[in-house]
C-alpha cells in the first residue's frame, strides 16, 4: 500500500510513519514544512519532501493520484492559537484541507481524515458518541471555536462527498493524545502548547504550572501508541469495515481533571531519577482564563469518548493507563531536552 501523509513530521505523522515502517511493507510519501522529528526515520520506503502544502499543489495532486490512501494531517491544533490567530487556523485547517479533500473526491481516493474531539465542543452528553451526540459550540465572539467549526464543516463535506459522490472515507477523532514529541518545548516556553507539554516545560524550567479557571475541566488522555494502533487498523480497513465511519480514538479510563493532572505530573517528575534530588519543584497556581488565553477563550468542561464503535469495528482497546502514559511522556522529554 502507498500512503500519502501530509504533515508527516507532526506528532501523529511521525509516530504513525515510524509504526508503518517497522510493522508493514507499505510505502510512505510525506510532505511537511519541517523535518525535525521525521529525519531520524530514514528508510528507503519513506519518500519525504520538505514543503508547504499551500504551495506544492502539483506535487500533492500527483501523489493523491499515485497513492492508495491519503491522510491530510496538517493543522494548527493548539487552543492558544485558536484565540491568537483564528484566521491562520481557518486558512490552514479549513481552506488548505478543503482543497485536498476535493482532490481526493476528484480521483475517488480513500481519505482517512483527522476530525477532532473538539467538534463535540460543550456537548451535554456524558460520553460523546460519533453518530448521536450533538455538536455544540459557543458564540462567535468566543474565537476558540474556529477550530471546532472548521473541522466540523470539513467532516460534513467529506460525509457529503462520501454519500453523494462515492468518496471512500474514514474520519477519526483523537481525544487528547499524548506522548513523546507532542509539542516542542520551545513553543511551550512561549506558553502556547497543549497542556501536557506545557506542564512538562514548567516542571523542567521550574516555572509555575497554571490551572486555567481552577483546573476543574476534565480530559481523557490517550497514549500515542494506543492511538497509532487504532490508526493502523483503520488504514488496513479489513473488509472495508471503516468505510463511511466516524471513529473516536480515546481512552475514557484516563479521564482526569486538569488540577489532578498537574499534581500527578509534578509527583511523577519529582520521583524521576534525574530530578528526585532537586531542591524545588514548580508551584501550582490558579489563573483566570481571561488572563491566560484572553477574552475570546471558552473552555470545555467534559470531554470523554464513547469508544464502543472503535472496539467493535477495530477489535481495539487502549492499553496504556494514565500514570504510564505520563511517565513515558515525561521520561522522553527529559531525555530529549537535558
Among 97, 123, 152, 198, which residue interacts with ligand UDP (rule: CB under 6 A)?
A: 198
SS3 per-residue string spanning 32-100: ECCCCCHHHHCCCCEEEEECCCCCCHHHHHHHHHHCCEEEECCCCCCHHHHHHCHHHHHHHHHHHHHHH
Measured from the CB atom, is 100 or 195 closer to ligand UDP? 195
167 near ligand UDP, rule: CB under 6 A: no
The C-alpha atoms of residue 204 and residue 199 are separated, in whole angstroms, by 9
219 near ligand UDP, rule: CB under 6 A: yes
Classify burial at 87, counting beta carbons within 10 Å of its beta carbon; exposed 0-12, middle 13-18, buried 19 or more. exposed
255 near ligand UDP, rule: CB under 6 A: no
Measured from the CB atom, is 103 or 303 closer to ligand UDP? 303
Among 5, 70, 75, 195, which residue interacts with ligand UDP (rule: CB under 6 A)?
A: 195
258 near ligand UDP, rule: CB under 6 A: yes
Measured from the CB atom, is 260 or 317 closer to ligand UDP? 260
By the 8 A CB rule, do 108 and 14 touch? no
Minimum CB separation from ligand UDP for residue 77, in Å? 8
Measured from the CB atom, is 18 or 219 closer to ligand UDP? 219
114 near ligand UDP, rule: CB under 6 A: no
The C-alpha atoms of residue 19 and residue 14 are separated, in whole angstroms, by 9
By the 8 A CB rule, do 304 and 318 touch? no
Minimum CB separation from ligand UDP for residue 268, in Å? 17
Residues in the interface with ligand UDP (CB under 6 A) total: 15
Among 103, 194, 304, 327, which residue interacts with ligand UDP (rule: CB under 6 A)?
A: 194
224 near ligand UDP, rule: CB under 6 A: no
Of the ranges 179-187, 209-217, 238-246, 315-323, which one interacts with ligand UDP (CB under 6 A)? Answer: 209-217
Minimum CB separation from ligand UDP for residue 212, in Å? 3
Measured from the CB atom, is 259 or 309 closer to ligand UDP? 259
The C-alpha atoms of residue 6 and residue 13 are separated, in whole angstroms, by 8
List helix spans (H) across the chain: 11-23, 57-66, 79-84, 86-89, 97-107, 145-165, 185-189, 195-204, 224-236, 258-270, 289-292, 308-314, 322-337
249 near ligand UDP, rule: CB under 6 A: no
Measured from the CB atom, is 97 or 176 closer to ligand UDP? 176
By the 8 A CB rule, do 1 and 27 touch? yes
In 3D space, the residue among 14, 19, 94 whose CA is nearest the CA of residue 30 turns out to be: 14
Residue numbers of the site for ligand UDP (CB under 6 A)?
79, 118, 176, 194-195, 198, 210-212, 215, 217, 219, 258, 299-300
Amino acid at each position: 500500500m502507498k500512503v500519502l501523509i501530509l504533515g508527516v513530521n507532526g506528532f501523529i505523522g511521525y509516530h504513525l510513519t515510524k509504526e508503518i515502517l517497522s510493522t508493514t511493507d507499505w510505502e510512505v510519501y510525506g510532505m511537511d514544512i519541517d523535518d525535525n522529528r521525521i529525519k531520524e526515520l530514514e528508510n528507503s520506503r519513506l519518500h519525504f519532501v520538505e514543503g508547504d502544502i499551500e504551495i506544492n499543489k502539483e506535487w500533492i495532486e500527483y501523489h493523491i493520484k499515485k497513492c492508495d490512501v491519503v491522510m491530510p494531517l496538517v493543522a494548527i491544533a493548539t487552543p492558544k492559537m485558536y484565540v491568537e490567530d483564528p484566521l491562520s487556523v481557518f486558512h490552514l485547517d479549513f481552506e488548505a484541507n478543503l482543497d485536498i479533500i476535493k482532490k481526493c473526491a476528484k480521483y475517488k481516493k480513500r481519505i482517512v481524515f483527522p476530525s477532532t474531539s473538539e467538534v463535540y465542543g460543550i456537548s451535554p452528553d456524558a460520553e460523546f458518541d460519533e453518530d448521536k451526540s450533538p455538536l455544540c459550540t459557543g458564540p462567535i465572539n468566543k474565537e476558540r471555536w474556529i477550530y471546532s467549526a472548521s473541522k466540523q464543516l470539513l467532516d460534513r463535506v467529506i460525509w457529503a462527498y462520501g454519500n453523494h459522490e462515492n468518496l471512500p472515507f474514514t474520519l477519526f477523532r483523537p481525544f487528547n493524545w499524548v506522548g513523546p514529541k507532542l509539542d516542542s518545548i520551545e513553543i511551550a516556553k512561549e506558553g502556547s502548547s497543549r497542556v501536557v507539554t506545557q506542564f512538562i516545560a514548567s516542571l523542567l524550567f521550574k516555572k509555575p504550572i497554571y490551572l486555567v479557571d481552577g483546573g476543574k475541566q476534565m480530559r481523557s488522555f490517550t497514549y500515542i501508541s494506543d492511538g497509532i494502533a487504532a490508526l493502523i487498523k483503520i488504514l488496513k480497513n479489513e473488509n472495508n469495515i471503516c468505510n463511511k465511519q466516524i471513529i473516536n480514538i480515546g481512552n475514557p479510563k484516563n479521564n482526569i481533571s486538569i488540577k489532578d493532572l498537574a499534581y500527578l505530573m509534578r509527583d511523577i517528575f519529582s520521583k524521576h531519577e534525574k530530578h528526585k534530588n532537586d531542591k524545588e519543584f514548580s508551584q501550582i497556581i490558579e489563573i483566570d482564563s481571561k488572563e491566560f488565553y484572553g477574552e475570546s477563550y471558552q473552555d470545555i468542561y467534559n470531554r470523554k469518548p464513547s469508544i464502543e464503535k472503535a472496539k467493535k469495528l477495530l477489535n481495539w482497546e487502549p492499553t496504556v493507563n494514565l500514570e504510564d502514559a505520563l511517565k513515558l511522556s515525561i521520561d522522553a522529554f527529559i531525555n530529549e531536552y537535558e
